[in-house]
Structure 1
Amino acid sequence: MNSQLTTYITLFCTSGILNLYLFIYVFIKRQQFTNIKNVFAVYCLSITIYCFAAAFGLTASSLEEIKFWTIIQYIGMPFSAPLGLLFIMQYLGVKITKPRVILLLAIPMISFILVATNDFHHFHYKSYMVHPSLGAPFSTIEIGIWYLVHGMFTFGSMLAAFLLLIFRWKETAKMYRPQIIALLVGQLVPMVTAFIYLIGVTPAGFDPVPMVLWLTSILYLWSIRTTRLFTVMPIAKDAIFHSISNGVFVLDEQYHLIEFNEAGRRMIPQLNKSMIGQDFKIIWKSITGVSDSFNLESVGNKQEMVLEIEIAENFYQVRTSTLQDRYVKKGLLIILTEITELKRLQSQLEKQAYFDELTQVFNRRAFFQHCGKKLEHAKAAQTPLTVILFDIDYFKKVNDTYGHMIGDQILKHVAQICQTKLNEVGLFARYGGEEFVIALEGYTANEGTEIANELRHAIELESLVAADLIVSITASFGVAQLSNNKDETLTQLLNNADKALYAAKEEGRNCVLFYSEKVNSINRRT
């Protein structure tokens, strides 16, 4: 056996021993590793069989022995590339299903069967003989049609694994990049060697790929030992990061987008991977249509900020916090939580709490809450505040005559007339029963009386037409203005308006009266 052949066998055996060591190491430590170790272990075992069979094949002295060891090689060799692809897919978090596994392993299985039975059909090798000049254990072959299929599939599997790693590089955190580099080289070395072998550049008569597999084994072993390949992986981070229901966006210290999760992409469909590295302020403006939803610089100067925004008719709570290493700022974290349903429920509850169910105007509670603020503001600014209290004349008689359904329609009819006439001037609410109230900030009693008369005339002129009925409606109004007494309360002001309303009823209804504190009497204004 010449020294060159001995070198080849040594390198083959070295690759086989290192892969066998990896298989045993991963098997023994399997309790410490994630599920990815299963595919990796089978991957290493297939390479081990391939390398040792190739080494024993170089000791063959006849064509029968060469063929035998070639068949043994094919127990492992055709499976190594697709198993390597499955390993990379699982490492990167690509979904692996049974159909995919079966599809990837089907061609290797056919290759093994065709090699084992090649003498009967010659699909894999058209001819297989001892090399005419070098002799055994070197061989020369004429490839068959399946050899081409097998070769393209093997090369394609290694290329696919390599490209998957390349495509994931940009979005992989720096701490995981040494692992990616090791895996890239681990896929690149046998792929390049196989390509060189296929174009006939390597020494004739044998497959050189097992000679270089020791290098990939060392890289994998280094990754397992130093970068915790099977315990800390991008897929571990991704599994958590992308399973979060909140949208998460990570910015660097210059506010460039460096990462976002799947929930963020669902919330904002315009997002895509091409935006990584871009200025988030520009991205945000293109998404929301506005650039000042929140100021990143002001956010960045605070440890944490919470606000609400609206995007495409959906509501989100935005939480931001700075990312820093001790006292050095490293970037910004933005978390979006969709609160559209919560806002809808809040709106419903608010409507139930502050709006009259029948007329859909503010109710008594809402009036007191809003008018209380108007009263305090009017006192502080020394501006007039006028309150109008009115009710529908003879409403009980209407109910008794036409029924409560018509009575309800009258209430809605009157509320609609007032809303139309007021046109958002003042605070309008149903005070209770057939009684309504209006608060006019910045209006004097005289101006309030004029508005009340306009409403009175409109109600009188617009009869209710319903169920073949025409029901005439009138209303009585009481007006009161906030006095100069700083201690006057909203209850007292409403009480004065109620006195004026009572006097209007005494005067014969369908009229407007205002309360005059100076003379402590009720004066009629029509």
Structure 2
Amino acid sequence: MGSSLTMYISLVATSGVFTLFLCLYAYLKREEMAGARTFMLYTTAQAIYIFSVAFGMASSTLQDIENWNIVQYVGMAPAPALGLIVVLQYTGKTVSRRMAAALFAIPVLSIVMVATNEYHHLFYKSLSVRAGSSLPFTDIVIGQFYVVHGAFTFGSMLAGVVLLVRKWQSTKKAYRLQLVTLIVGQFLPMAGAFVYLMGMVPNGMDPVPVILCVTSAMYIWAIVSTRMLTIVPIAKESIFESMGDGVIVLDSADRLIDFNGAASRMLPGLGVGLIGRTLDEAWIAMTGSPFPLNTHADVEQEAMRWQAKDGSYAFYQVRTSVVRGRVGESIGSLLMLIDVTEPRRLQEQLERLAYHDGLTKLLNRTSFIYRGKQLLREAQESGTPASVVLFDIDFFKRINDTYGHETGDFAIQHVASVVNRLLPPNALFARYGGEEFVFFLPAAARSGAGELADRIRAALAAEPLQADGETIAITASFGVSQSGSDGATLQALLKNADMALYEAKREGRNRVRLFEEAYPA
């Protein structure tokens, strides 16, 4: 019997040495090894447990056995929780602080219960040296919290095994050897703990420390042969969730079956409640309209404008990719959304600066001439008249000199706003330069253009500018010219309108004049 005890203690001590080696390895590889800190704590807890079992078995008095038993639980109680966290990290799952605190609640209580058992006997109802035995075997009668601790220990190990087994199909063959090692490393101690708790071992010897000798040896072998824990497969779902681009997964019937966190952030309203709906149905629920692009081709499509129901918008480059099965058949598709909102908005801003006036947001002179030529050509081809109206603000320099340039800018914006309100939708309106404006009226004869110009003139005179507590009267002078059958160019129409405008100013301003051939050049 003594030789059996010696062999048992020797095996336990060997297990402790192996475990310490694993702890040292994790420390040396801490820069390469994800979760090194957790693995170091895990192997340290196991080493405390293993060596305290050996020292307890080498003790000869009940008091010494009880003292080493308390130390034993300092390592044994948190070890299952730490092992489960190692598995969670290996499988790519995030362990929050709240989750970690919950996992260590029962281990901490177990340590406290064992240390204070003589006051409440909730962990052990009784603990005594076995009568008639020359070896330090103990007889225990378990208490209520012993059951709680045992259930937590078994449950934590079982959860680790289940998590690892579930990763089998998604783990590449190159990593399955280390996965097997981790599964066995979780399963064997769990089986040993179960056998021990059921009282199925001879002489009440705890088989777990000896089993840990086997599992530690397996870990060392796996580390040497597969670089286990330093080269770890990244879980596919971790890659999926950590991608900066949005990804939407569809089945062969275009039904939404999955999406990542980036997609839900890019598309407000995209949630689990839409899973199972077709992409068009989901898009209608989010935006009010069907999905605008094709989803059945491996292509990169142009930027799609996302317009949410609240009016916010963004631009996404859409890449579609067909997902194929083992024999090449189409089983679904992936949509990857790449946020190009900022570049697109910058492009729009540059376009606005290139074609629009920055102060009034109207077309600038260059854009007006380019588009006006097109409209004039269309009018001439169709044989319909078209008119150009050129006008500027009267005494604008006086406004600038009296009230300042900022108020002068307000005056220009005020005029643009009033005129915009009265122009027909097909008019081409631009800031021609400084305080001067122009609009082109397709399908409008000179008399009709003159009447519209006079209504605008009256509206400006009736609506003075309110700025900084001041009421500032604003009037404008207008010149009107019309294209005819002579094939006049836009430049000629603008020149004629400018001559009519000059006449309006010469006659006293705040009036409209139509171009007449009799005007001097």
Q: Please say whether Structure 1 and Structure 2 have the same fold, judged by a TM-score greater than 0.5.
A: yes
Give 1:418's aligned amino acid: V
CA distance in 2: counterparts of 1:378 and 1:62, whole angstroms? 114
Structure 1 pair 422–124 and aligned structure 2 pair: CA distance change class (3 A): same
Q: Which residue of 1 aligns with 2:305?
A: 309
Give 1:154's aligned amino acid: T
Q: SS at the partner of 2:77?
A: helix
Tell me by how many angstroms 1:427 deviates: 0.9
Q: Which residue of 2 aligns with 1:494?
A: 494
Q: Which residue of 2 aligns with 1:290?
A: 289
Question: Contact 2:2 / 2:135 at 8 angstroms: preserved in 1?
Answer: no
Structure 1 position 129 matched with structure 2 position 128: yes
Q: Which residue of 1 aligns with 2:457?
A: 459
Q: Which residue of 2 aligns with 1:477?
A: 479
Q: SS at the partner of 1:296?
A: coil
Structure 1 position 436 matched with structure 2 position 437: yes
Counterparts of residues 242-321 of structure 1 (less than 5 Å): 246-249=244-247, 251=249, 254=252, 260-271=259-270, 283-297=282-296, 300-302=297-299, 304-312=300-308, 313-320=312-319
Tell me by how many angstroms 1:431 deviates: 1.6
CA deviation profile, 1:214-253 (whole Å, cap 9, x unmatched): 7765875687544844323337984x76565x33316478
Tell me by how many angstroms 1:334 deviates: 0.7
CA distance in 2: counterparts of 1:402 and 1:30, whole angstroms? 77
Structure 1 pair 389–119 and aligned structure 2 pair: CA distance change class (3 A): closer
Q: SS at the partner of 1:479?
A: strand
Q: SS at the partner of 1:424?
A: coil
Q: SS at the partner of 2:78?
A: helix
Structure 1 pair 207–282 and aligned structure 2 pair: CA distance change class (3 A): farther
Q: SS at the partner of 1:315?
A: strand
Range 470-479 or range 422-431, more displaced: 470-479
Tell me by how many angstroms 1:23 deviates: 1.3
Tell me by how many angstroms 1:365 deviates: 3.5
Q: Which residue of 2 aligns with 1:416?
A: 417
Q: Which residue of 2 aligns with 1:74?
A: 73
Q: SS at the partner of 1:317?
A: strand
CA distance in 1: counterparts of 2:376 and 2:421, whole angstroms? 24
Tell me by how many angstroms 1:308 deviates: 3.2
Tell me by how many angstroms 1:420 deviates: 2.0
CA distance in 2: counterparts of 1:85 and 1:290, whole angstroms? 47
CA deviation profile, 1:440-466 (whole Å, cap 9, x unmatched): 34x15x2x5313312313423652445
Give 1:79's aligned amino acid: P
CA distance in 2: counterparts of 1:270 and 1:157, whole angstroms? 37
Q: Which residue of 2 aligns with 1:518?
A: none
Q: SS at the partner of 1:310?
A: strand
Q: SS at the partner of 1:232?
A: coil
Question: Contact 1:395 / 1:407 at 8 angstroms: preserved in 2?
Answer: no
CA distance in 2: counterparts of 1:215 and 1:489, whole angstroms? 96
CA distance in 1: counterparts of 2:320 and 2:279, whole angstroms? 15
Q: Which residue of 2 aligns with 1:234?
A: 234
TM-score (norm 1): 0.70
CA distance in 1: counterparts of 2:471 and 2:27, whole angstroms? 92
Structure 1 pair 414–276 and aligned structure 2 pair: CA distance change class (3 A): closer
| Structure 2: stretches of 5+ with no match in the other structure | none
| Structure 1: stretches of 5+ with no match in the other structure | 516-520
Question: Contact 2:38 / 2:86 at 8 angstroms: preserved in 1?
Answer: yes
Q: SS at the partner of 1:318?
A: strand
Give 2:298's aligned amino acid: N
Give 1:419's aligned amino acid: N
Give 1:459's aligned amino acid: R
Range 119-128 or range 60-69, more displaced: 60-69
CA deviation profile, 1:80-132 (whole Å, cap 9, x unmatched): 112213323443352565x9878866865675576567668756423113457
Tell me by how many angstroms 1:257 deviates: 6.5
Q: What fraction of aligned residue pairs are identical, expressed as a percent?
A: 33
CA distance in 2: counterparts of 1:258 and 1:232, whole angstroms? 28
Q: Which residue of 1 aligns with 2:142?
A: 143
Range 468-477 or range 36-45, more displaced: 468-477
Give 2:425's aligned amino acid: E
How many aligned positions are there? Answer: 501
CA deviation profile, 1:416-453 (whole Å, cap 9, x unmatched): 34322214231112223443211234x15x2x531331
Question: Contact 1:125 / 1:147 at 8 angstroms: preserved in 2?
Answer: yes
Structure 1 pair 252–223 and aligned structure 2 pair: CA distance change class (3 A): farther
Structure 1 pair 287–216 and aligned structure 2 pair: CA distance change class (3 A): farther
Q: SS at the partner of 1:291?
A: coil
Counterparts of residues 309-348 of structure 1 (less than 5 Å): 309-312=305-308, 313-320=312-319, 322=321, 332=334, 334-337=336-339, 339=341
Give 1:126's aligned amino acid: K
CA distance in 2: counterparts of 1:466 and 1:362, whole angstroms? 23
Question: Contact 1:126 / 1:142 at 8 angstroms: preserved in 2?
Answer: yes
Tell me by how many angstroms 1:492 deviates: 3.8
Question: Contact 1:107 / 1:150 at 8 angstroms: preserved in 2?
Answer: yes
Give 2:79's aligned amino acid: S
Q: Which residue of 2 aligns with 1:450?
A: 448
Structure 1 pair 343–318 and aligned structure 2 pair: CA distance change class (3 A): closer
Counterparts of residues 189-228 of structure 1 (less than 5 Å): 190-191=189-190, 194=193, 198=197, 205-210=204-209, 225-226=225-226, 228=228
